[in-house]
Structure formats: C-alpha cells, structure tokens
Amino acid sequence: MKTNKFILVLAMLMFSGVSAFAQLDRSKRPEPAPAPEIKIPEAQTFTLDNGLKVFVVENHKVPKVTFNFIFDYPPVYEGELAGLSSVTGQLIGTGTTTKTKDEIDEAVDFIGADLYASSESVYGSVLSDYKEDFVKILSDVLINAKFNDEELEKVKKRTISGIKSGEKNPSTIANNVLKTVLYGKDSPYGEVATEESVKKIKLDDCVNFYKSNILPNDTYLAIVGDITFDEAKALIENHFSAWQKGNKPESKFKSKRPPLIRKVYLVDRPEAVQSVIHVAYPVKFKYNSKDRIAATIMNEIFGGNFMSHLNMNLREKHGYTYGARSMLSPDEYMGEFDAMCEARTEVTDSAITQFLYEMKRMRKGEVTQEELDAIKKYKIGQFARALEDPLTVAKFSINVARYNLPKDYYKNYLKNIDAVTLDDIKSAAKKYVNPDKAYVMVVGNGSEIKDKIKRFALNGKVVFLDVYGNEFDPNVKKVAANVTPEQIVDKYLNAIGGKEKLLSVNDIKVEMSGKVMNFDITMTVAQKKPGKFYSNMDAGVMQSITKFDGEKGVIIAMGQKKPMDEKQIAKMKAQAEIFPLADYAKNGIKLELVGVEQINGKDAYKIKAEFPGGSKKIYYFDKESGLKVRETQTQNTNQGQMVVTTDLSDYKDIDGIKYPTKMTQSVGGQVIELEVKSVKMNSGLPDDLFKVED
C-alpha cells in the first residue's frame, strides 16, 4: 500500500506539470539559512557588600561545580620590577595564615578538586558533594593569602629560566619586542620582564601588589554546575563576606596611536634560518565597540582562519610560510591589529609585500558574498558550540557587566552576525586595516634582509633593536678594519691554553649533570682522535646514546637504533674534533666576522664558522678576555629547524687548559642547565666505547 501511494503522489505531480526533482539546481549555491534561534539561559546574580559580583548558572547534568574568580584591576606599570604581577599570581595558593602549600595541596587532593591560580584569575572545580569544603579552601587562599620567601625564590627561578629560554627563541623575542614597539617601555602593555627585573622582586613587593590589586570589589565570580542559586549564595556569603574591600587602583595607562607613516624595525639574529614577521599597530577597538562583530568577521576573512586571504596567499599560493594569520584584539584600554608569519629568510621581503598587498585589497572591499556567508556560518557554529559549556554562559553575563555591553548582546548575537553585509566589512577594513600606518617588525638574519626590507619604511630607514626592544645604531659597534676573525680565534686559543697544548689532547671525557623539565639528567661526552665521538644523556625515564667511530654513526633512543645518514655523518665529523678551532685552517673551517653583540652585558665578537660538510655555527668571544661565551647552531628536528644555543661560563684550569664548567643550553623553548662534574684528558679511552655495531 505504501508503494502504491508513493506512485500515485508522483503521478499527480507529473501530470500537474511539477517535477519532484527539477527544483534542485546544483549549479547554484544554496541560499544560507537564517541564523538559528538559540535560547541562552541567563545567569542569576548577586553582589556582596564588599563588592564581589557573583554569577550563578545551574547545570545538574553532572555532579560537579566550577568556580572561576576573574580579577579586573587596571593595567599596572611595574617598571624596574617588571614581571611582578606574574610572579605574584604564581604565589597565590602557596600559603595562607592557616596552611602551608603542602597542606593546601593535600586538602585539594583529598576532595579530588582542581585549583589553578594566576594574576588574572583563580579557577577550580570539584564534585558537588564537596563544594562547601572547596569553598572553604578558596576563601582561605584568597582572603588569608600569606606568601613566603622559599616559594618566591622557586617562582623567580622558574620565571628567569623561562626568560632565558625566550631570549633565544625568535618568536618569543618578536612578541616581546613588538610590545615595546607598539606601546613603549613606559607602558604596562609595553614593558617586558627581564632576568634583572625579576631578581629585584622582594616578598614585600608581592604582598603589596596583592593587597592593592586583588580586591573583592574588582573581582567577578562565576559559579557553574550542580548547585542551586540559594546554595551558592549561602556559601559565598558565609565564606567571602569577610574579604575586605579596598580602594580601586586608578588606571595610569596612556593610549598609544599608530605611527603617522609605516616604519620598519629589525632584531638581528644572524643564526636565524627564517624571519618572524609582524605587521602591527595599536587601534581603538573595545569590547563594546559598535562595529565589533563586523570587524571580527572582517578579520576572520582577512587572516583569522586557514582559508583566509593571508593564508591562501602566503602559504598556498606562494609557499613562503607554513601559516600566516592576523588578529584584531579588543581591549578595555587599547586594542591591537597584528598580522604575522614565519617565512624563510630569502623570501622575507616577498612575504611583507604580500602582507601589504592583502591589506590594501581588504581596504578596497575585495570580499565575495560567498566568503562572507562562509565565515558567518562558521561564527554561528562556533558560538553554538561554545554554549555547550555552561561556564561560557556565566562568562557572557560577566562580560556584559564588565565591558558595559548591551544587556541583549549575546541574545541577539546570531542575528547581528547574520545582519553583517559586505558594506559593513569594507567599512571595518577601512577603519582597522591600514598598511601605510603600521609597524613592520622582523626578527631574522640582518645581514641577509636589512637592505631588502628597507624599502617598506616610508621614512627610508630600518630601526635596529636588541632582544629587549632597545634601539641602537649598528654602526656604532663596527669592528675595526684591522681586526680579523683569525685574530679573535687565536686570542681565544691562547686564553684557554694555547694551540700546542690543545692539539696534544688525544682523548677527553666530560661528565655533567643538570635538570630539564623537572627531570634530573646526567650527560657523558667522550671524544678521541681521530674523529671519534660518544655521548650518553640519561634522564632516568629515557636515555639517548650517540656513537661515531670516525666513519659511521648510530643514535640509540627509546630502545631503537637509527644509523646516521650521509648529512649527519658529515656534520658529526666536524663535531667529533676535540678542539676543532685549535687548527681551524687544517680542518677546513671558514671564519667570518659578523660584528659585535652584547652577551650578559659585555661586548662579544660574533664569528660565523662554516665546517666541511656544510654545517655552521656562530661563536661569541668575549672582547676583553677572549673566552668563548656562547655558541649557536641550527638543527633539524621532528618539529622542524630549531636553533640550539649554549652559554658557557665559569672557566676552570684543568691540566693546563681552561674549560667551561657551566653550560646553559636552550632549544625549542626548553632550558637545560648543566654543571661539569669531571673532565679527564689523555686517559686512554678504549676504542670499544665508540664502536658502532652493524
């Protein structure tokens, strides 16, 4: 019967002149559906007498409750104590007037809770059965905070380690220096923490910062999960009413305008094999800007996702980079536009050309309706997915209060996305995308790119910056014409014992120990003439052994053996030399004097050395003592090319040769600090140590 009915209906359609299938024209793109109606549950809210603003979203699907404290103090200029807010944030939860850090950690673990703290927020979650126990811990941590010197020193050491690592990472350098370029070092948005500034931070500084800025009347609390509004209100009133309000700090932030003309800045990193490029400037773009939705969609089309104009141009069309992107970031005080990528050194200027080309094209409104519809659909879906997290709903309510948004901002969000037109996109682009009033900042090999990128500066000059954003004239530290790289290397050889003494060493074994990622490691490195090399790095949970017998080599790690290929063998032949610079001419090492750079506050000659086989290193020799204080080398890894930087210090006399006993190695954001425990020379190392079994 069902089949007969279907045939009957089909026949009626055909005889009436209507085809059931002709209505679908696949040559035409379907019209986008109207924005879906999404009902957003409203957070229930109350405010304590001390000013703490609380937003509660009930969700009883999972027996869990989340608490998120958001601190809303204005930007703080820290000056010679740059890094203070970050250090203070890391101290939250390390002690109170009633508990030590261990006792707090034990109490949190006992109820199976999570607790995270920073200078911007305190976040935690717990099973609903233990919500009152957890609130007691949270109130103790925030109201009765008591910092101590022992924990402060741990945080400072960890922070300084991160800073040292970042000083050698081109992306980190670019991000830090960009801040100083955009906002200036006298701004809370432009200052960058240094090893010196962190070392100056005292316990009283952290205590004063906390008391002055972490205040209930400047804090929003989101409570989400298996809890009723009445339960939440009773808990917070009982445990947080004692939190004393304070005087809100005044913002002394001064807005920075974009440059009147496009300027170019360069941080010279001669060891870099690619350039980190930023085209950026500050903009007046707040959370409650009337065109925020249109501007956000405009940026998505320009550089905010994989299919954006920037990525399709620089990555897909030209192959200059693995990815190009842009951000248009709102801020309560000053927003920011930033388009960025990492490109090969030789195409740095070509990449910048395409950035500016796409910016100009965006200003002209060269966006299709199809592109606009696709991004609208993406944003609508993104918004719908975000609503799956109840904490998002609470944060929406906080945003409305915090940034003075219209009360129906999120209720009408999808409708407002759907209403954005091509004219709106063009207007937003003209307002926020300005290629002629931008800072072009590049971190890369200056000798290769400085002349090429000069043409992008509308004032006709490239401004040189160091890794801290300090401007300098590269010509001031020009090396005297009569100074040669050979003279510098010879001075180094004499400083550590002399060429004859170095060449008399037939074998050497060095044992070191240190720490990486909280793992204790030991490292043994052995070398023997002619050209034999052995290393063993043992971190307990993992071990890596390298052997090279002068002709062939193997790397043993994670229980697997991997023979060296031809390129690795060529590089290893250079690395296997005990003191390769002792007879640099005979070893076929080409030396080039690049210039002078400050290392740890002292001038050092920078020399590029090219070894047979194509491997390169950059050496830094202290101008006064002649000692080698740093060396860098680019290595190929599974994550791509990385620069390995090794700082050398604390030279000690060992059998008539000065040898560095402290080495700090940085690679891929990780810092390994090694201390030499023993050095043995001419001890008669057996050949079996270097034997490579087939």
Sheet holding 64-71, edge to edge: 44-47, 53-58, 219-225, 64-71, 121-127, 114-117
CA dist 296 and 428 (Å) reads 9
Q: How confident is the model at residue 477 (pLDDT cuts 50, 70, 90)?
A: low
Q: Encoding tokens for residue 171?
A: 């992306």
Q: Give the pLDDT score at 52.
A: 97
Specify the DSSP class assigned to residue 206: H
- pLDDT at residue 4 above 50? no
CA dist 672 and 646 (Å) reads 9
Fold classification of 485-690 is outer membrane lipoprotein receptor (LolB), chain A (2.50.20)
Q: What is the pLDDT of residues 587-629, one digit of tens each?
A: 889 999 988 888 887 889 999 998 887 788 899 999 999 999 9
Q: Using an 8 Å Cβ cutoff, are 535 and 522 in contact?
A: no
- Whether 44-240 and 263-472 share one fold: the answer is yes
Q: How confident is the model at residue 20 (pLDDT cuts 50, 70, 90)?
A: very low
If one compares 204 and 637, the residue with the highest pLDDT of the two is 204
If one compares 24 and 496, the residue with the highest pLDDT of the two is 496
CA dist 379 and 598 (Å) reads 48
Q: How confident is the model at residue 271 (pLDDT cuts 50, 70, 90)?
A: confident
- pLDDT at residue 6 above 50? no
How is the chain split into domains, by residue range? Answer: 44-240, 263-472, 485-690
Q: Using an 8 Å Cβ cutoff, are 442 and 465 in contact?
A: no
CA dist 654 and 665 (Å) reads 22
- pLDDT at residue 3 above 70? no
How big, in percent rounded to 5, are the helix, strand and coil portions of the chain? 35, 30, 35
Specify the DSSP class assigned to residue 514: E
- pLDDT at residue 476 above 80? no
> Is the pTM for the entire model greater than 0.75?
no
Give mean pLDDT, residues 437-457.
95
Sequence letter at residue 636:
N
Q: What is the pLDDT of residues 104-117, one digit of tens each?
A: 999 999 999 999 99
Q: Give the pLDDT score at 35.
A: 59
Q: Which element (helix H / strand E) includes 419? A: none
The torsion angles phi and psi of 324, rounded to 5 degrees, stand at: -125, 145
Percent of the chain with pLDDT strictly greater than 90:
69
SS (H, E, C) 7-64: HHHHHHHHHCCCCCCCCCCCCCCCCCCCCCCCCCCCCEEEECCCCCEEEEEECCCCCE
Q: Give the pLDDT score at 15.
A: 33
Q: What is the pLDDT of residues 28-84, one digit of tens each?
A: 555 655 655 667 878 999 999 999 999 999 999 999 999 999 999 999 999 999 999
* Side-chain half-sphere CA neighbours of 463 within 13 A: 17
Q: Using an 8 Å Cβ cutoff, are 263 and 465 in contact?
A: no
- According to DSSP, the residues that pair with 534 across neighbouring strands are 526, 547
> What b/e readout covers 363-376, taking b as 16+ CB neighbours within 10 angstroms?
beeebeeebbebbb
Q: How confident is the model at residue 528 (pLDDT cuts 50, 70, 90)?
A: very high
Q: Encoding tokens for residue 615?
A: 């491997």
Q: Using an 8 Å Cβ cutoff, are 93 and 115 in contact?
A: yes
Q: Give the pLDDT score at 413.
A: 93
Total residues belonging to the chain: 694
Q: How confident is the model at residue 390 (pLDDT cuts 50, 70, 90)?
A: confident
CATH superfamily of 44-240: Metalloenzyme, LuxS/M16 peptidase-like (3.30.830.10)
Q: Which of 338-347, 383-392, 474-483 has the lowest mean pLDDT?
A: 474-483
Q: Give the pLDDT score at 636.
A: 63
Sequence letter at residue 225:
G
Q: Using an 8 Å Cβ cutoff, are 609 and 619 in contact?
A: yes
Name 393's Cβ contacts closer than 8 Å, sequence gap at least 6: 40, 41, 42, 43, 57, 224, 387
Q: Could you write out the DSSP letters of every residue in 587-629? A: TT-EEEEEEEEEETTEEEEEEEEE-TTS-EEEEEEETTT--EE
CA dist 173 and 666 (Å) reads 14
Give mean pLDDT, residues 306-326.
96
Q: Give the pLDDT score at 46.
A: 97
Q: Give the pLDDT score at 33.
A: 58
Give mean pLDDT, residues 503-525.
89
- pLDDT at residue 673 above 90? no
Q: How confident is the model at residue 439 (pLDDT cuts 50, 70, 90)?
A: very high
- pLDDT at residue 507 above 60? yes
Q: Which element (helix H / strand E) includes 292? A: helix 292-299
Q: Using an 8 Å Cβ cutoff, are 272 and 170 in contact?
A: yes
Q: What angle do CA 194, 149, 468 make, to 5 degrees?
A: 0
If one compares 272 and 31, the residue with the highest pLDDT of the two is 272
Q: Give the pLDDT score at 258.
A: 87
Q: What is the pLDDT of residues 142-165, one digit of tens each?
A: 999 999 999 999 999 999 988 888
CATH superfamily of 263-472: Metalloenzyme, LuxS/M16 peptidase-like (3.30.830.10)
Q: CA dihedral in degrees (678, 681, 683, 684; nearest 10)?
A: 130
Q: 3-state DSSP call for residue 531?
A: coil
- According to DSSP, the residues that pair with 471 across neighbouring strands are 465
- pLDDT at residue 484 above 50? yes
